[in-house]
Amino acid sequence: MTKFFNLRRQDYNDIYADALKGGIYEELPRCPKCKLAARKRLSPLVIEWDYGSNIIGDFTWPGEEIIVTDMVRTCFVSRGFSGISFEPVEMVQKQGLKKPRKESKARNRVWLPYLGPPLWNLVVTSWCNMDARSSGRTLVSECDGCLRKRMIVHDPAAPLIVKPETWAGSDFFCIREMEKMVFVTGAVRQAIEQNKLANVEMKERGYIREPET
């Protein structure tokens, strides 16, 4: 049995800088039955720093995206963690907005031009499926055209159980039924704790059964 953990934001009190997500989106084909259409964000991820702090944490959380520092990227790559890639991050700032001369006022956000080390968009590339019944959930079909489903949660405290045959053994992964929530194995959790990485926390969320023999 392999335990896994939900990777999530830690700071909501402006200790670390926050960013707003932007970018260019591609409209995906509309479902001929329910007429809904999804959008796909194109690379690179574009962000604008928000007011609050000028201290960039090891992790930054614009929307459902994850940005990490170059040190975090080096840490994960050196350990050979699988299921992730790193894409560039582009920063923008409203036209006419300039850094205040007073240092006390300048500390309330990150200003451009950015002169720090590279930042990276951490992208999860590995996906698996959940055993809904064992996880205290039911999936209800809402459209058989685009296969859209709605989840009913019967027991919020129940652990999430991943179908072992759908897991590629990756250290980072997403569960299709949980959309873009990011999960990690114990090895990633240990690396984050050992390096005392900032603005991230991990909650035990479930496990992957051993494959039946």
Q: For 91-140, what is each residue's pLDDT tens digit?
A: 999 998 988 888 877 789 999 999 999 999 999 999 999 999 999 999 99
What residue type is assigned to position 130 of the chain? M
In the chain, % of residues over pLDDT 90: 89
Looking at the DSSP bridge assignments, the partners of residue 153 are: 137
What residue type is assigned to position 188 of the chain? V
Identify which of 114, 121, 115 has the alpha carbon closest to the alpha carbon of residue 44.
Answer: 121
Is residue 213 included in any domain, yes or no? Answer: no
Same domain, 144 and 173: yes
Is residue 4 included in any domain, yes or no? Answer: no
- 55-85 pLDDT, tens digit each: 999 999 999 999 999 999 999 999 999 999 9
Same domain, 117 and 191: no
- pLDDT confidence of residue 102: 84
Is residue 2 included in any domain, yes or no? Answer: no
- pLDDT confidence of residue 106: 78
Is residue 146 included in any domain, yes or no? Answer: yes
Is residue 16 included in any domain, yes or no? Answer: yes
Structure-token match 């409203």, residue found: 94
Same domain, 172 and 115: no
Is residue 111 included in any domain, yes or no? Answer: yes
Same domain, 107 and 120: yes
Task: Say if residues 207 and 183 touch (Cβ distance below 8 Å).
Answer: no
Q: Is 166 helix (H, G, I), strand (E, B) or coil?
A: helix
Q: Is 91 helix (H, G, I), strand (E, B) or coil?
A: strand
- 164-189 pLDDT, tens digit each: 999 999 999 999 999 899 999 999 99
What's the chain's average pLDDT?
95
- pLDDT confidence of residue 213: 65
Same domain, 135 and 68: no
Q: What dihedral do alpha carbons 166, 26, 37, 128 form, nearest 10°?
A: 10
Q: Which of 71, 100, 124 is the last residue of a domain?
A: 124
Same domain, 92 and 148: no
Same domain, 65 and 161: no
Looking at the DSSP bridge assignments, the partners of residue 163 are: none
Q: Which of 124, 156, 187 is the last residue of a domain?
A: 124
Q: Which domain holds residue 114?
A: 11-124
Same domain, 186 and 92: no
Where does the pLDDT of residue 1 fall: very low under 50, low under 70, confident under 90, or very high at 90 and above? confident
**Into how many domains does the chain fold?**
2
Region 29-54: mean pLDDT is 94
Whole-structure pTM value: 0.93
Same domain, 180 and 132: yes
- pLDDT confidence of residue 43: 93
Structure-token match 């997500």, residue found: 21
Same domain, 100 and 148: no
Region 22-42: mean pLDDT is 92
How far, rounded to the nearest angstrom, does the alpha carbon of residue 129 sit from its chain's CA centroid?
17
Judged against a pLDDT cut of 90, whether residue 212 lies above it is answered with no
**Residues 6 or more apart in contact with residue 80 via CB below 8 angstroms:** none
Q: Which of 108, 124, 140 is the last residue of a domain?
A: 124
